[in-house]
Amino acid sequence: MNSKIITNDKITEDLLKKLFNEEILALRIPNYISNYLSEKLTNFYLNHPKLECHPHDLKVNDEIQLVDYGVDRVGVSYNTTFGHLKNSPNYKNYFNKAIPAIREIRQECAPNIAPFDKLRLELDEIWSPGASIANFEGKKMHVGIARIMKRPEKSYMVEKQPHYDGLQQKGVKIRGQFSANIYIAMPNTGGELELWDVPGIPTDQFIEDSSEINWREILPQSVLVKPEVGELVIINTRKPHAVRNFTENYRISLQSFIGVKEDEHLMIWN
């Protein structure tokens, strides 16, 4: 087992500091939510009427391109506003739907606490400078998007080319970008999270999704993490990462980005 992948029974400030300072590569908290809730939410998302494609945003020649990596979503994603004006339908849609989407999951989970409500509270309690829903545009954003991979035939796409997530928006100043993933359904074989222990990529650099660039060939040996159902995994998304291919069943996680501001306050968003 890689010594930079830390498994613990709870999130601690010390472990978060180590992750944010790049001393550890991933923080794993098994059984973060119950099997009961994982199963209930899996059924809820698989049958959700608003399930839609969740493309990855790629910066190509200074333009944002959205690429289908075989991931669908329930919930709204900030990247749907990229390249659009502040008064555009895309902006309005994102901000109008953010809080209702959070409340919908809260209601579905009641009387249990919703996974991202729990995470937000715990982060705020544990992290001295505090944690809250991001408000990059002066408005509350979405947290806890559901990432539903139920098109296994497309899952080779997230394996083929590692990616990194680094917010490009001007005016948003964060010194690190991380993500929290809570896994509610996993395929028996495959679907591992693959991580590379290299320095975070500066946000002004981009890796083209081109067949001429084989990032896997350049990168050192990767580390695989096979999350269990109910597990929380926090990673540094500015480091290259990928999801391994799987051939049957589905893989569902609840996810948000965590940005560390210059004053150390944590901003959480999708």
Ligand X SMILES: O=C(O)CCC(=O)C(=O)O
Pick between residue 197 and residue 212 the one whose CB is nearest to ligand X: 197
Residue 201 beta carbon to Fe ion: minimum distance, rounded to whole angstroms: 12
Of all helices (H) and strands (E), which one includes residue 100?
helix 89-109
Alpha carbon distance, N-terminus to C-terminus of the chain: 31
Taking CB under 6 A as the rule, does residue 57 contact ligand X?
no
Phi, psi of 30 (to 5 degrees): -65, 160
CB nearer to ligand X: pick between 105 and 182: 182
Binding footprint of ligand X, residue count (CB under 6 A)? 10
Can residue 253 be called a binding residue for ligand X (CB under 6 A)?
A: yes
Q: Pick between residue 127 and residue 239 the one whose CB is nearest to ligand X.
A: 239
Residue nearest to ligand X (CB): 179
Q: Is the peptide bond before 111 cis (omega within 30 degrees of 0)?
A: yes
What are the Cα distances from residue 267, in Å, to 90, 104, 181?
22, 21, 15
CB of 40 to ligand X, least distance (A): 20
**Which of Fe ion, ligand X, none does residue 81 bind (CB under 5 to 8 Å by kind)?**
none
Hunting for tokens 């199963």 — which residue is that? 39
C-beta separation of 241 from 200 below 8 A: no
**In the complex, what is the shortest distance from the CB of residue 83 to ligand X, in angstroms, rounded to a whole number?**
20
Q: In the range 191-220, which residues lie near ligand X by CB under 6 A? A: 193
Most distant CA atoms of the chain, gap in Å: 51
> Which residue, 165 or 209, has its beta carbon nearer to ligand X?
165
Rounded-to-integer distance, Cα 44 and Cα 73, Å: 12
Cα 124 to Cα 55: distance, rounded to the nearest angstrom: 30
Rounded Cα gap, residues 18 and 237, in angstroms: 15
Binder of residue 255, out of Fe ion, ligand X, none (CB less than 5 to 8 A by kind): ligand X
253 interface partner picked from ligand X, Fe ion, none, CB below 5 to 8 A per type: ligand X
Residue numbers 150-189 binding ligand X by CB under 6 A? 165, 179, 181
x/- string (CB under 6 A) for ligand X, residues 230-249? -------x---x-x------
**Which residues are at the interface with Fe ion (CB under 5 A)?**
165
Q: CA nearest 251: which of 151, 164, 158? A: 151
Tell me if 77 contacts ligand X by CB under 6 A.
no
Closer to ligand X by CB, 161 or 179: give it. 179
Residues near ligand X (CB under 6 A): 147, 165, 179, 181, 193, 237, 241, 243, 253, 255
